[in-house]
Amino acid sequence: MTRERQAVPLQSVDVQVDVKDHVATVVSTLLYKNKEEKPIEAVFVFPMPSEASVYHFSAKVGETLIVAEVKEKKQAREEYDDALSSGQQAFLLEESDQSPDIFSMSVGSLRPGESASIRLEYVTELDVQADEALRFNLPAVLNPRYQPAGTESSVDVASVPSSLVPYDLTFSARVESSRPVSKVESTCTLDPVQYLNQDQTKASVKLAAGHKFDRDVELLIYYKDSHQPSAVVEAGQASAKPGSLMGDTALMLSLYPEFPKHVMSSTSSSGEFVFLLDRSGSMESFMSDSAKSGSRIDSARDTLLLLVKSLPMGCYFNIYSFGSSFQQIFKESVEYNQKTMEEALEKVKMMDADLGGTEILAPLKHIYSQSCIPGHPRQLFVFTDGEVGNTKEVINLVKSNADSHRCFSFGIGEGASSALINGLAKEGRGHAHFITGSGRMQPKVIQSLRFAMQPAVGDISVKWDLPKGVSASVLSPPLTSIFQGQRSLLYAQLTGQSEEGAEGCVTVKYSLAGRPTENKLNFSLKPAEDTGLTMHRLAARSLVRSLEKKQEDEREQKDYDAVKKKIIDLSVQSGVSSSLTAFIAVNKTCEGAIQEPVLRRNVPVPGRIYKSATTRIEALRSYSLGSGLGFAMDEVVYGSAIEDYDEMMFDEDEVGDAGPDFLMDSHAKARWSKPQWDPLLELVSLQKASGCWELEPALAKALSTTSQDLENKQPSVAKKEVWATILALVWLHDQKADAQDEWELLAMKSVTWLRSQNAVGLTECVEAANALLGSSVNKDVLGLQPTCTEPMETGLRSNLAQILQN
């Protein structure tokens, strides 16, 4: 039921995913049924991965199958409206004008009692995660996008509490790779993984029965030794015109650049690190529907602590936060030391999701107006739940300042806009991460900090060495960022014929720390089997996106119309969606026109989970103000709004004993209390900016021992700070070895400090720490000693280089 107690025509969603190495093909089947006594039009606004390439849309009504065509969006809308007005059935699928990660599906003129099965197909690339997993995400949550005042209206989203989503989801995935599948994990409950062959290169998984489509479905797929450079060559479509994208051979390159060790070992730890934290009302939402997950703002605060503690001495930093307005801790970026670190973290502790809307443009403009610090490249880290309506404007601002910084973006919680998060990183020459469900934010953020500490790559070029008569046209946007060990994708169209067994070579050249560097990949030109047209569709989508950006850049230029025509022609020719086209299908075989008025029914999607009803109303208020409605809400209105919302959304009969999980009163908040602080963060919070720890009662508490034991077990030859630092390092290696990627940088800082002290008694300290903590950590594991053949400074740089490479 919707808020108005209307029946929801969407009955169920079935999703089948076919994963081959780094690419997923997704087939979604949506079953609609009109249970009302009058004809209806069902409109479903839903999220979609921003990089997805939608290539098929069809409807089956009874025994009649209607396959949609891709047409120019205005024409498609007119055909749809004309069909409905003449009493015909029609089906329309289109990408939002505001953001490529929102689609709208219109199912027009379903007669009373009539059903329609809608089939939607798309292909998408899988992102590489910090732990080398490949991430597939099926988005379900679509939150209202905050619309700044004075901007165009955003998409109208119909949302309900996740517990009241009225349709079910069945989900299965088949995974296939040339390398064994080691494991598959998910944020949702899965049935056990089924391996389909002996060498475990094929596997299948499915969601446990009874799953509601009330949250994003995230799969993390792990292959053994999978992240190696590779190439997939795909033959063209036989019916397509030779020389066209679909008629020629398509190529997808997965590149994993390896930086020379001598360059990495000389990496400087200098830099200006600017952190921009979203403190809008929506950040008060829970990370997931688990009571143990904590809120988005809680997770972001904890992550900022770890980030700030991991910064190198001598760098510069500043922390901004934003909502309807923005704040900054320092007037301008300051040098990182004990005083500035303590001042910053004290203010971070007080940060809450209390700044209203999501006005991200203003703080970004202010950051870019600040002069860069010579010798300290600017690295911008943006943390947001990504619910804004002016996505393109924000991305264009980052793009116009790309030469002065690198931007690393983090989408927090379900419903974060993939278009915004990916766009910030892509245009800012950085890297993007998404943190959903119960997943920890810290390892992903620390990976980006490692990337930020790598030298910036410049002057990137691609050189081809192909057989005579074969040429390559790159279809992807130019490479603007390369990171050690991180995948870069490149699509190309190969024209011409080659002999059997022929090979090609691509060389990526770039400047790294002022030194010319290159990486080569040799590949066979023999087309792969059983790929369908997957590579062609991904390549077409990549080229469409490039042309769309070019069109925006030339909005006032004479080439605007020519670029627009090229986008439409390419979209129609390849059958792949774009911002300027739509899928349209009209059922012309249906007997008898519908004479009576057609009722519109909006299909709801799951919305975010708030800690309290007050927070929900605050969010509604900020959205109304941002959208220009500007109505005032006093205490009486607040109270009635809460009651009205509860009355609209929840019946005791519907909710049952569990109670609503979307809005929560003070009693519910007590049940959903903040989880206990992670012992790792408790220990990290005590580290000094220099990297050392002090012998204090708080350290004893963090190590689950007593101050007296710490003092009694201290070796007489060691200083207190040295003893305390060794204790912390031993505890980290023993108790938190599985989270080493989170604390490795700050541990390296500790080793640097110990070496700077010319500390004595290190062996005794490690032995005493093991005895006290009941551990067995080897001194060599701590990285305290360089090898016997290298000076201490060289050994330290080698350790740092290894961390950055990992």
Secondary structure of 759-799 in HEC code, one letter for each residue:
CCCHHHHHHHHHHHHCCCCCHHHHCCCCCCCCCHHHHHHHH
- Pull the structure tokens for residue 461: 């070029």
Mean predicted confidence (pLDDT) in 776-790: 69
Rounded CA-CA distance 313/305 in Å is: 16
Identity of the residue numbered 212: K
**Residues 390-416: pLDDT tens digits?**
888 899 999 889 888 999 999 888 778
| Confidence at residue 660, expressed as pLDDT on a 0 to 100 scale | 34
Identity of the residue numbered 270: S
Distance of CA 438 to the CA centre of its chain: 14
- Between CA 329 and CA 340, with CA 334 as vertex, the angle to 5 degrees is 65
Task: Of 18-27, 325-334, 491-500, 780-789, give the lowest mean pLDDT range.
Answer: 780-789
Burial 365-404 (b: 16+ CB within 10 A, else e): eebbebeebeebbbbbbbbbbbbbbbbbebbbbbbebbee
| Confidence at residue 615, expressed as pLDDT on a 0 to 100 scale | 46
Pairwise pLDDT comparison (444 vs 70), residue with the higher score: 70
Fold category of 230-263+457-573 in CATH: Immunoglobulin-like (2.60.40)
Helix 792-805 / helix 442-453 crossing angle, nearest 10 deg: 120
Identity of the residue numbered 486: Q
Strand order in the sheet with 40-47: 69-72, 581-587, 89-95, 102-110, 40-47, 599-603
Rounded CA-CA distance 41/44 in Å is: 10
When the pLDDT of each residue in the chain is averaged and rounded to a whole number, the result is 82
| Confidence at residue 724, expressed as pLDDT on a 0 to 100 scale | 96
* pLDDT at residue 115 tops 90: yes
Mean predicted confidence (pLDDT) in 450-461: 85
The CATH number given to 10-145+155-227+574-603 is 2.60.40
Whether pTM > 0.85 for this model: the answer is no
Identity of the residue numbered 131: D
Q: Do domains 10-145+155-227+574-603 and 230-263+457-573 have the same CATH topology?
A: yes
Nearest CA among 194, 188, 196 for reference residue 171: 188
Domain ranges of the chain: 10-145+155-227+574-603, 230-263+457-573, 268-453, 610-671, 679-805
* pLDDT at residue 788 tops 60: no
Fold category of 268-453 in CATH: Rossmann fold (3.40.50)
**DSSP annotation string for 587-637:** E-S-SS---SPPEEEEEPEE-PPPS-HHHHHHHHHHHHHHTT------HHH
Q: How confident is the model at residue 281 (pLDDT cuts 50, 70, 90)?
A: confident
Helix 740-756 / helix 720-735 crossing angle, nearest 10 deg: 160
Task: Of 261-270, 483-492, 506-515, 667-676, give the lowest mean pLDDT range.
Answer: 667-676
